[in-house]
Each structure stands twice: as structure tokens, then as C-alpha cells.
Amino acid sequence: MGSRPAPGRSKLIEVRSASSHHSRTSPRTCERPVSDTPLQRTRRSFTLLVPGKRSEPDPQDAQRYWDPIESAWPQWGCEPLANIRTMPWALSAIGESLGSAVVAYIGADDDQAMVFKLIDHLWEQAIPLVLVFDDLTPARQRLGGRGVLVVPSDATPQSIAATLHALAERQQMIESLRSELRVARRFQGGLRGEIDKIHEELQLAASVQREFLPRTLPQAETVDVQIYFRPAGYVSGDIYDVQKLDEHHLGFFIADAVGHGVPAALMTMVLLRSLTTTAHDAVSKTILPPGEVLENLNNEMIHRHGDVPRFATAAYGIIDTRDRTVTIAGAGHPAPIIVSPDKTRGIETSGGLLGVFPEATFDEAEFTLADDEMLILYSDGFETAFPGESSDEYTRRVPSNRYMHYFRRTADTWRQDNLRSAMDELACKLNSQSGSMHPIDDLTALVLVPARTAPLDRLFREDTGESNRQSKAPAPRPVKSDVSASS
């Protein structure tokens, strides 16, 4: 075996034949760790790069550079195996194992570009590199980092051996983590495909739910209707409907299925399909009163109960367009409110949740909508739609009555301008709230107001004698989600 190089002599990258590993003739025993540790303590291999432009190193260089390191190897560590080569071989070795770490001796005459290539090459393989420079300049010191340790040529074999031993112990964990990462990435690819599939299915579910909503709102001469509808996610647990029952009556319905997501959205479709507002016989059609409509809907939900009962709140009303008399019944839904210029009052009705009690009854309330009053039916999502300015993630989920202030402002804007502008303003206020991009609950508001006739329209009707006749309703306008929809 050769002697250790004299201090100050150039130490360059050593590499050996791939088939020959340099080791002692009497290897020390390597104790196994206890059985509950996931890592096995085995002999570690290293690559030692020595100076030279050939692929095969000088055998004497192999002895000169590796023997001192092997002799100084920590006694508690397993005896190392050295694969001694040159830098050109390391850069061209594709598919070759470089071991737990690479130590490279760099002389003043070595190509610095090859050093940078070596660093990149080992970085891609997550293999640590120890660079031993004959002339350690500040620029070469800055090569440290990204898995590279830079040491001077006068570093003792003991320090280099200890460094390699520590890197080998760490590398075992890194290799284990890289293996787990590869498995995780394979699972991630499959998981991404499943998520994309769920995304497509939810989009289809949202499209189907929109098909159940009215495409247009029926028209009336004396009443304007608008809707604000915004699901919290792909689909909504809220639902609404407006029907023209006969020439003088409109029926309006709003419901909120208990729960969120697809189960609640499916329940809303059942509610609309089960909603029966008129009864027919051979010669006539009868408009069912709101209380009876909710009774029938409640019995139908109980009849359809499966293994998991589903519940919903709802409100249904009828407005006589001739004098704007409103009859309304509720089933556990937030009380509809009437916004007047000087006050706001709720229309309380008794009635429990739909789908709970068989043969339940639902009382009705009756009132007349005045010329300057606005009737609002809404879902409970509005109770968390307007958090305070200093609300955090918890407090913004606490229900409040701040929405009443914005409902009053909506009514004021309607009186000063028109219903479409008022609903657009309400939508803007909702969108400007903290967390509005991810609302806590679905939002639905159904608004009814007396229709306004422009002075020129009144003058035209008086001149043509049409003031006391029912005029033909204008063509309906389409309903839009997340924006107000008007009649």
C-alpha cells in the first residue's frame, strides 16, 4: 500500500476500476441494528475521483489517496468499499452506481468546467460530493451548498473519513425518502386522475341542477320578480321556482335542503319534482293554497325516505296580481321580510321542517304588498354572508343579522331607481365581502315588488282606453345564476 501524500502536494480526483473495490484484508464486523429500526447498517460504497484525464486511474494514486481515509475510518462504522476512478469516467458513467457519496481531489490543473458538470450530475442523483481542493480560493469555497462540501487539501484523513461516514449514514435515509417520494408521485398521478373525474362529474351535476331551475320568470302586469342565486360550490342546496298559476296569480317557492354538496343538491331536485301547486279535474284547474302545497310536499318527502332521512326548509306563497294580496306558508324557513320605507317586519308562519312529521300542517299568513314595499324570501346563507370587518376564520361563520341592513339598502335603491339596479348593487356588496370567493353557504334571494309604470306608458294607456283592460304580458327574460333575474 502506498504512503500518504506529503502536505501541500496536489490531491486530485481518484477513481478505480468499477470491478475492483479497495478495502482492507481483514474487514471489521458490522453489527446489525435492533430489529425495530427501519434502516440496515451495511458496508457502504463510495466513489473516489483522482486526478487524470483517462477513465482508469493510476493504481498508485488509488493507494495514495484512499488508504489514509480507510485507515482513519471510525471504529463504530462498517468498513467502507471504494470505487476509485477519474472525473471523465464519472461524467460519462450512465447507470453506474456511485455509492453513498463521492470524494473528489481537485488539482490546480483540472478543468473547472468539469467540476461544475460533476456538481450538476451528482445533484440530479441526490448524491453528496466532497471536493478537496489543492488551492482553495474564495471562489471555490462558494461552491459549497446543494449537496457539496468543500475542504482544503490539508484536511486530515480523519476529518474526511468522518465526513464520508456521516454522509453515508444520512444518505441511507435520503434514499429511503426518495423511494417513498417516487411511490407518492405515482399515487399522485392516479389521484389527480380521480380528482379530474370528480371535477367533471360535479360540473355535470351542476348542469343538471340548472336544468331544474326556471329558464325564464313568468310575467305579471303589476308585480316584478327577481332572483339572486349563488351556490357555495359546484351545486347548491338551495332551490327556487316561480310559476304562473293562472291569469291573475303567481306562485313563488324557495327551499333549502339540510346539508351541503351533492346530497343536498339531489334533494332540491326531488323537492321541485314533488312540488304540486294546482289540482286538475276533467273540467277545471284549482290553485292549491300554500299550506296544502307544503303539506303535500312534506308527505311526499316522508314517503320517499330511504335509509337516511333527508330534511329541508321551505316557503311557498301566492300573489294575486290584481291587488297584490299575498298568501304565504313556511316550513322551518327564515321568515320572509317586508321592507317598508320606515320599517322592516318579518312574516312569521308556524310549520316544522319538511320530511320530519307525517301529516304536519302549515299555517298561512296573508297581507297586501303596498306600493312602496319589497317582499324578500331568502335562504339562511345570508346570515353569514356579511362578516364584520375584523372577522377571523371562526367569527365569519357566526350568524348575524347584518344582512338586514343590506336588504334595506336594496329596497331604497329600488325606490330611487329600479329593481334590476337594486339587485345588482346587492350582488356587488356580496362580492366585496371578505371570503366571498369561498362562501360558507349557498345564497338565494327571491324578491317581489310592485311593478312601476312609466308616465308615458300610463298616458298611452289612457289615450287608447287600455287602462282598465288586462294588457298582454311582455316577453319573458332569461334567468341567470349569481346575478339578479327579473320578470
Q: What pLDDT is attached to residue 474?
A: 42
In whole angstroms, give the CA distance from residue 344 to residue 305: 38
- Kindly indicate the confidence band of residue 30, based on its pLDDT and cuts at 50, 70 and 90: low
Burial of 352: CB neighbours in 10 Å, binned 0-12, 13-18, 19+: middle
Q: What is the mean pLDDT of the chain?
A: 80
pLDDT of 53 above 80: no
The residues, any chain, with a CB within 8 Å of residue 395's CB and separated by 6 or more, are: 387, 388
Q: What pLDDT is attached to residue 77?
A: 67
Q: How many CB atoms within 10 Å of residue 402?
A: 16
pLDDT by residue (tens digit) across 380-436? 999 988 887 776 677 777 888 999 999 999 999 999 999 999 999 999 999 888 777
In whole angstroms, give the CA distance from residue 23 to residue 56: 18
Per DSSP bridges, beta strands 223-230 and 485-486 are antiparallel
Listed residue (423, 408, 412, 417) closest to 487, CA to CA: 423
Reduced to 3 states, what is the DSSP secondary structure of residue 45? strand
- Say which range, 17-26, 186-195, 452-461, has the weakest mean pLDDT: 17-26
DSSP 246: E
Which of 18-27, 58-67, 140-149, 237-246 is the most confident on average?
237-246
Question: Which domains, from first to last, does the chain contain?
Answer: 21-181 (3.40.50.2300), 213-486 (3.60.40.10)
Q: What pLDDT is attached to residue 329?
A: 96
- Kindly indicate the confidence band of residue 3, based on its pLDDT and cuts at 50, 70 and 90: very low
The residues, any chain, with a CB within 8 Å of residue 40's CB and separated by 6 or more, are: 32, 33, 172
- Kindly indicate the confidence band of residue 38, based on its pLDDT and cuts at 50, 70 and 90: very low
Q: What pLDDT is attached to residue 191?
A: 82
Alpha-carbon torsion, ordered 312, 318, 324, 328, to 10 deg = -50
Listed residue (91, 74, 73) closest to 82, CA to CA: 73
Q: What pTM value is reported for the model?
A: 0.61
In whole angstroms, give the CA distance from residue 100 to residue 281: 88
Residues forming a β-bridge with 321:
none
Reduced to 3 states, what is the DSSP secondary structure of residue 455? helix
Q: What pLDDT is attached to residue 213?
A: 87
DSSP 145: B
Half-sphere CA count of 420, side-chain side, radius 13 A: 7
In whole angstroms, give the CA distance from residue 145 to residue 472: 82
Angle between the 157-212 and 59-71 helix axes, to the nearest 10 degrees?
90
- Kindly indicate the confidence band of residue 371, based on its pLDDT and cuts at 50, 70 and 90: very high
Q: What pLDDT is attached to residue 480?
A: 45
The total number of residues written for the chain in this structure: 487
In whole angstroms, give the CA distance from residue 46 to residue 64: 16
- The sign one gets for the Cα dihedral 207, 210, 212, 218 is negative
Q: What pLDDT is attached to residue 95?
A: 65
pLDDT by residue (tens digit) across 293-348? 999 999 988 887 767 778 899 999 999 999 999 999 999 999 999 999 999 999 99
pLDDT of 255 above 70: yes
Cβ(374)–Cβ(449) below 8 Å:
yes
Q: What pLDDT is attached to residue 138?
A: 84
pLDDT of 288 above 90: yes
Listed residue (96, 94, 118) closest to 105, CA to CA: 118
- Say which range, 2-16, 149-163, 369-383, has the weakest mean pLDDT: 2-16
Region 5-26: mean pLDDT is 40
Region 92-98: mean pLDDT is 74
C-alpha cell at 389: 370587518
The residues, any chain, with a CB within 8 Å of residue 403's CB and separated by 6 or more, are: 378, 382, 383, 385, 386
- Say which range, 107-116, 176-185, 230-239, 318-327, has the weakest mean pLDDT: 107-116
pLDDT by residue (tens digit) across 457-475? 544 444 544 444 333 334 4
- The sign one gets for the Cα dihedral 87, 88, 93, 96 is negative
C-alpha cell at 129: 460530493
pLDDT of 12 above 60: no
pLDDT of 445 above 50: yes
Q: What pLDDT is attached to residue 252?
A: 96
C-alpha cell at 320: 294575486
